[in-house]
Amino acid sequence: MTAEPSNFVYHAWLSSASLPPKVISVLLEEYETPENIWHDFTSLQNSLEKISPSGLKTLKQNISKEWLDKTELLLRHHKISAFTITDQAYPDSLLHLQDPPAILFYQGDLQCIAKKNLAIVGSRAASYDGQKAAERIACDLSHNGIGVISGMAGGIDTASHTGCLNGGSQTIAVTGCGLDTVYPSMNTKLRDRILENGGLLLSEYAPGEKPVGWHFPFRNRIITGLARALIIIEAKIRSGTMTSVQHALDQGKDIFVYPGDPISPYFEGNHQLLREGAIYFTTANDIMEDLGWLDNPGIIGQNSGCSGRSFPLSPEEAAVFSALKPGKLNFEHIAEKSRLSPALLMSTLTMLQIKGLIEALPGKQYQLIETDI
Amino acid sequence: MEEIMARTLSFGVNGVNGYPVHVEVFGINGIPGMEIIGLPGASVRESRDRVNAAIINSGKQMPPRRITINLAPADMKKEGPSFDLPIAVGILIANREIIPDPALVTDRIALFGELSLDGHVQPIKGTLPMVISAKENGIRDVILPVDNAKEVACIEGLNVMPVSHLSEVIAFFEGSETIEKQQQISFDSLKNDIHVTTDMAQIKGQKGARRAIEVAAAGGHNMLMIGVPGSGKTMLARCLPGILPPLSFDEALETTRIHSISGKLPSNSGLMVMRPFCAPHHNASVASLIGGGQDASPGEVSLAHNGVLFLDELPEFSRGALEALRQPLEDGFVSVARVKKQAMYQSSFMLIAAMNPCPCGFYGSTRKVCRCTPQEIRRYLDRISGPLLDRIDLQIEVDSVPVQEINTSAPAECSAQVALRVNAARMIQLDRYRGTGKHCNAQLSNSEVKQYCTPNPQAMRLMNAAVETMHLSMRAYQRILKTARTIADLDHADTIGSSHIAEAIQYRELDQKYWR
C-alpha cells in the first residue's frame, strides 16, 4: 500500500496478456515481483514454455516505454494500486481458492477485507421485490458492522451495495473489468459513494481491460472467496448467480437463500436451491444467528427511512390498510376488497403513501411498508 | 367566325381557406385544342380530356377552336379536379351551346365538381371551405356534386343545388329545368345520429383507468397510459370520443374544414359532430403527423383538431416526430411551410399516448418475467423527452385484467352516463373561463393555475407533504393542481379540497416509479 505507485505499472504489464493466474503465480514465485520479471524478460522469454504464444506476443508488445507511460498515467489518475499473490497484503481467504488470482488491482481501503464480510448476489434484471429485499438485508447487516461484498453490476448488486452504504459499513465491489472503467456506467455515482465511505474496489483485471462476458462468472470466485458466506437474493435457474453458488460450494462456504415469491419466475432458482438444501433465511438476524455472530450488539431489523404510524387512520384508510394486510395487491383488487369508489380509493392511496404506510409498485400494485420486526 | 368568350366562377383552397377563382374561357380560330393557364396542377391540366368527353357525352359539341382557359388569380397554384364543371360550363356558354337564361348572372353562380367521362359529377375535396368562402364573397347560388351537398347543408343563407350529371347543369343554365335545392339541416339534428363505436360498457374491470379517462375527458388533459401488452390501453383510448362533449357548431366547422380538404370525409356526410379520433401508426413521418407534402396538406395533428390524437407505442415514434408535437401541443396550431405553399392549420387536440413499461413489455407484470436490463428500460423511457412529458398532465398505469374477470364481471357503466358527468364539468369550466379564450382546465398557463387552482389550506398542507415525501417536481406540482381542479369540477366543488389533490397525485405516479 505504501509502495511507490509507479511499481504497479509492472503489475499491469504482467496481467495485460490475460495469462492464466496459475502461470503468473509460478513466475512470481520464481522472480518475486512483476518488476523483476520485466527486467529479465528478454533473457528469460525463451525458457518460458508455459506462456502461450499469444500471451508472449502481447507481453512483448506492451514492454515498450509508450505503453508503460500510458498505463502509469491511468494508474495514477484513478489512484489504482495492486498487490500480488506473493505479497503480505494478499488475503489468506483467496489463497485457498482453486484458481487464486495472481495479481489484484484495487482502489480504496484494503483493510476492508479483514473485516466480517458476506457476499450478496442476484440477478442484474431483478424484480422490485428482490431489490428491496437485498437493500433491506444489506442495510441490516451493515448496521451490525458486517460488510457486504458484491459485483457492482445492476439490479441486486447495486441494491446490496446501496443497502450496505445506508447501514454505515464499508462495502467491497469486485468488478469484471479494469478499475478505470465503471460497468455499467450508470453505477459511477455508486462507485464514488463506495470509495467515499471507505470501501474497496477490487479487480484482477489491469486498467484498460474492457468488461468482457467471461470475466464476470470468473470474478465471482473472488466475491465468494472473500466472504464468510454467500447470500442469494434472486436467481433464475440458469444464471450467473448460479456460478457463484458453484464457487461457494467448491470453497465450502455457507449458502443462504432468500425465499422469494414462490410463484414469481424471478425466484425460480432460489426455490431450487432451497430444495437442494441451501439455508433458508428471511432477515439479517437469521443469518447472523446461523453464523454465530449474534453476540454483536447492534440495531437489528431497522430499515432506514421508514416512519412510524404517527397519524390516525380514517375509515377509508383503515379499509385499504386491512385489504393490503395479506400482501401486495393491484388497484382493481383493492377496490373490490375495500368497496371504495375509484376516485375515493385513489385519494386514500395517496394519503396512505404520504403517511409512509404503503408504497406503490410497478404494475399498479401497492403494498404495506414493513414497519417492525 | 369571331372570337368567343365566357366567364364562370369557382373556388380554390389554400390551407383551410377558400378563395374565388374566375374561370375565363376564350376561343379563337386556329388548330382546335385547349390550353389551361393560371398555374394548374397535373389534375387540373388533365381536366381538358375529361371536359371534352363529358361535353360530348352530354349531347353537346366541342367548339372547333383554339381555346385558352385562364384560372384567375393566375399566381395561385390550383390543384384538384373541382374545376372540371366550371370549365365545361364556360366552354359551352362561350360556344353558345348553352344560351343562358337571361335571369341568371352566370358568373355569380359558384360551380364545383369533377366530371367523369360520361358526364357524371363526382365528389370533390374541400367543399366546405370553398362554400364558406363563397358565402363570405356574397355568392348565394352554389352548384356542387350531390355527394358533397350534406357537408354544407348546415350553412345558412345559401342556395345549394346538388347535381349528379352535367346535363342537369346545362338544363339549369338554359332555364329549361330547375335543380332541387338541398334542404337545410340544423346542426342540432345531426347530433341525434351520433353513435358511439367503442362504449365504456365494453371495458371490463379497469376501475382506476376508467376514472382516469373520465378525468382526462372532463378537463381536456393529455394522458399517458403505461401498461403491459394487451391491458386494454387502445380500447380505453377509443372510448374517449364517446364521452367527450359533442363538437360545438364552430368547432365542427373548423374540424370538418380540415377533413374536407384532406378528402377524409366519407361521401354524403354532413358536418362532423363526433370528435375526431386519429391513431397514426408509430412509423409515421414528421410530415404525416404535422402536415406537409408538395401542397402543404394537413397532418394527423390537424385532423385530430378538437378531438383525440392517439399515439400507441409512443417510444417507437421517431424522435423527430415526437419533438415536432411540441409546437401544436403548446400553441394549438401548426404552420406548415413548403417551397410552393405555406399554410397554417389549427391543431388543438387531446394527446392520448400509450406505451409499454419496457422494450419487452412486461416490466412490473405479475404474470410474466421482464427480459430487459435496467439500461434497456432506461434507454426506452428516455426516448420520450422531458419537454414532451411536461405537456402530459395524467400518467397512469394500466394493468391487464385476468381472463376470468372478463367473463364474470358485471356490465360496467356506459359511455352516455360518463358523458353526462364530463359534460357537466365542462360546463363549469366554460363558465369560469368565459371571456379568457380558454375553455378547459388543460389549457391553463402556469400563472392561470395560480389564479384558478388554489386549494384550500388543508389541501395545501397535504400538497406540501406530498411534495416532500413523494419527491414531486415543480413540474408535477403544476400538473397536479390542474388535474385537481378538474376533479373538483367533476365533484361540483368550488374550491379544491384534500381529496381532489390526493386523487390527482395518483395520476402522477409514474413520475416516481419510472421517471425519477
- At B25, is the secondary structure helix, strand, or coil? strand
CA B72, distance to chain mean position in Å, is: 30
CA distance B404 to B413: 19
CA distances from B70 to A297, A301, B351 (A): 100, 90, 45
Single out the residue of A157, A112, A159, A110 nearest to residue A133, CA to CA: A159
A169: which DSSP letter? S
Looking at residue B203, its pLDDT comes to: 85
Looking at residue B53, its pLDDT comes to: 95
**What are the residues whose beta carbons fall under 8 Å from the beta carbon of B99, sequence distance 6 or more?**
B174
Residues in chain A: 373
**What are the residues whose beta carbons fall under 8 Å from the beta carbon of A70, sequence distance 6 or more?**
none
A353 neighbourhood in chain B, CB within 8 Å: 469-470, 505
Mean of the per-residue pLDDT values of chain A: 85
Test the B interface: residue of A216, A354, A366 with most B CBs within 10 Å: A354
Q: Are A199 and A173 in contact (CB under 8 A)?
A: yes
Query: How many C-beta atoms lie closer than 10 Å to residue B461's C-beta?
Result: 13
Strand partners, B292: B297
Looking at residue A311, its pLDDT comes to: 58
- At A217, is the secondary structure helix, strand, or coil? helix
Rounded to a whole number of angstroms, the distance from the CA of A185 to the nearest CA of chain B is: 9
Query: How many C-beta atoms lie closer than 10 Å to residue B145's C-beta?
Result: 24
Q: Report the residue of chain B nearest A128, measured CA to CA.
A: B364
**What are the residues whose beta carbons fall under 8 Å from the beta carbon of A185, sequence distance 6 or more?**
none
**What are the residues whose beta carbons fall under 8 Å from the beta carbon of B382, sequence distance 6 or more?**
none
What is the torsion angle, in degrees rounded to the nearest 10, for the CA atoms of residue B226, residue B232, residue B237 and residue B238? 160
What is the torsion angle, in degrees rounded to the nearest 10, for the CA atoms of residue A150, residue A153, residue A155 and residue A160? 20
User: Looking at the partner chain, which of B398, B469, B499 has a beta carbon nearest the beta carbon of A347?
Assistant: B499
Alpha-helical (H) ranges within chain A are 8-15, 21-31, 34-44, 53-62, 65-77, 92-95, 128-143, 156-167, 188-196, 215-226, 240-250, 268-275, 284-291, 315-324, 331-338, 342-354
Q: How confident is the model at residue A60 (pLDDT cuts 50, 70, 90)?
A: confident
Task: Read off the C-alpha cell for B103.
Answer: 335571369
Single out the residue of B114, B121, B200 nearest to residue B166, CA to CA: B121
CB atoms B513 and A344 under 8 Å: no
Q: What is the ipTM of this complex?
A: 0.78
User: Looking at the partner chain, which of B363, B462, B505 has a beta carbon nearest the beta carbon of A362?
Assistant: B363
- CB contacts < 8 A, A to B, total 104
Q: Are B500 and B493 in contact (CB under 8 A)?
A: yes
Task: For chain B of 516 residues, list the mean pLDDT of each consecutive stretch of 10.
Answer: 86 91 93 92 92 94 91 90 95 91 90 95 93 94 93 91 95 91 86 80 86 94 91 90 90 92 84 91 92 87 94 92 89 85 89 91 79 81 84 88 70 88 94 89 89 90 85 83 94 92 86 59
A186 neighbourhood in chain B, CB within 8 Å: 374-375, 378
CA angle in degrees (0–180, nearest 5) for A117-A118-A122: 145
B368 neighbourhood in chain A, CB within 8 Å: 265
Residue A216 has pLDDT above 80, yes or no: yes
CATH architecture of B444-516: Orthogonal Bundle (1.10)
CA distance A247 to A234: 17
Q: Are A100 and A21 in contact (CB under 8 A)?
A: yes
pLDDT in tens, A155-186: 899 999 999 999 899 999 999 999 999 988 88
CB atoms A354 and B375 under 8 Å: no
Looking at residue B342, its pLDDT comes to: 82
CA distance A202 to A194: 12
User: Looking at the partner chain, which of B208, B368, B370 has a beta carbon nearest the beta carbon of A346?
Assistant: B208
CB atoms A186 and B378 under 8 Å: yes
Looking at residue B512, its pLDDT comes to: 63
Rounded to a whole number of angstroms, the distance from the CA of B230 to the nearest CA of chain A is: 13
pLDDT in tens, A35-57: 888 888 777 766 666 777 788 88
Query: What mean pLDDT is predicted for residues A51-67?
Result: 82
CA distance B192 to B155: 18
B360 neighbourhood in chain A, CB within 8 Å: none
B514 neighbourhood in chain A, CB within 8 Å: 362
Looking at residue A295, its pLDDT comes to: 65
Single out the residue of B183, B130, B137, B123 nearest to residue B159, CA to CA: B183
Test the A interface: residue of B358, B499, B508 with most A CBs within 10 Å: B499
Rounded to a whole number of angstroms, the distance from the CA of A126 to the nearest CA of chain B is: 9
- At B309, is the secondary structure helix, strand, or coil? strand
Q: Where are the domains of chain B?
A: 4-174, 200-415, 444-516
DSSP per position, B338-354: -SS-EEEEE---EEEEE
Rounded to whole angstroms, the maximal C-alpha distance in chain A is 86
Test the B interface: residue of A186, A364, A366, A369 with most B CBs within 10 Å: A364
Q: How confident is the model at residue A303 (pLDDT cuts 50, 70, 90)?
A: very low
**What are the residues whose beta carbons fall under 8 Å from the beta carbon of B354, sequence distance 6 or more?**
B224, B225, B226, B227, B233, B234, B237, B310, B311, B312, B313, B314
Looking at residue A372, its pLDDT comes to: 44
Q: How confident is the model at residue A3 (pLDDT cuts 50, 70, 90)?
A: very low
The amino acid sitting at B126 is G
Rounded to a whole number of angstroms, the distance from the CA of A102 to the nearest CA of chain B is: 32
Reported CATH class of domain B4-174: alpha beta
pTM score, whole prediction: 0.76
**What are the residues whose beta carbons fall under 8 Å from the beta carbon of B112, sequence distance 6 or more?**
B10, B11, B82, B85, B86, B124, B127, B130, B142, B143, B144, B145, B148
Alpha-helical (H) ranges within B63-115 are 84-94
Task: Read off the C-alpha cell for B349.
Answer: 387536440
CA distances from B197 to B200, B215, B273, B414 (A): 10, 21, 14, 12
Single out the residue of B293, B261, B258, B250 nearest to residue B278, CA to CA: B258
Looking at residue B191, its pLDDT comes to: 80
Mark A280-291 as b/e (b = at least 16 C-beta within 10 Å).
Answer: ebebbbbbbeeb
pLDDT over 70, % of chain A: 91
Say whether the peptide bond before residue A184 is cis (omega within 30 degrees of 0): yes
Q: How confident is the model at residue A313 (pLDDT cuts 50, 70, 90)?
A: confident
Test the B interface: residue of A332, A333, A338 with most B CBs within 10 Å: A332
Question: Which phi-psi region, left, alpha or beta, contains residue B60 (left: φ > 0; alpha: ψ -120 to 50)?
Answer: beta
Rounded to a whole number of angstroms, the distance from the CA of B10 to the nearest CA of chain A is: 56
CATH fold of the domain at B200-415: Rossmann fold (3.40.50)
Rg (alpha carbons) of chain A, rounded to whole number: 24
Single out the residue of B343, B302, B260, B255 nearest to residue B76, CA to CA: B343
Q: How confident is the model at residue A199 (pLDDT cuts 50, 70, 90)?
A: very high
CB atoms A360 and B512 under 8 Å: yes
Looking at residue A38, its pLDDT comes to: 83
Q: Report the residue of chain B nearest A125, measured CA to CA.
A: B373
Q: Are B227 and B354 in contact (CB under 8 A)?
A: yes
Task: Read off the C-alpha cell for B201.
Answer: 360498457
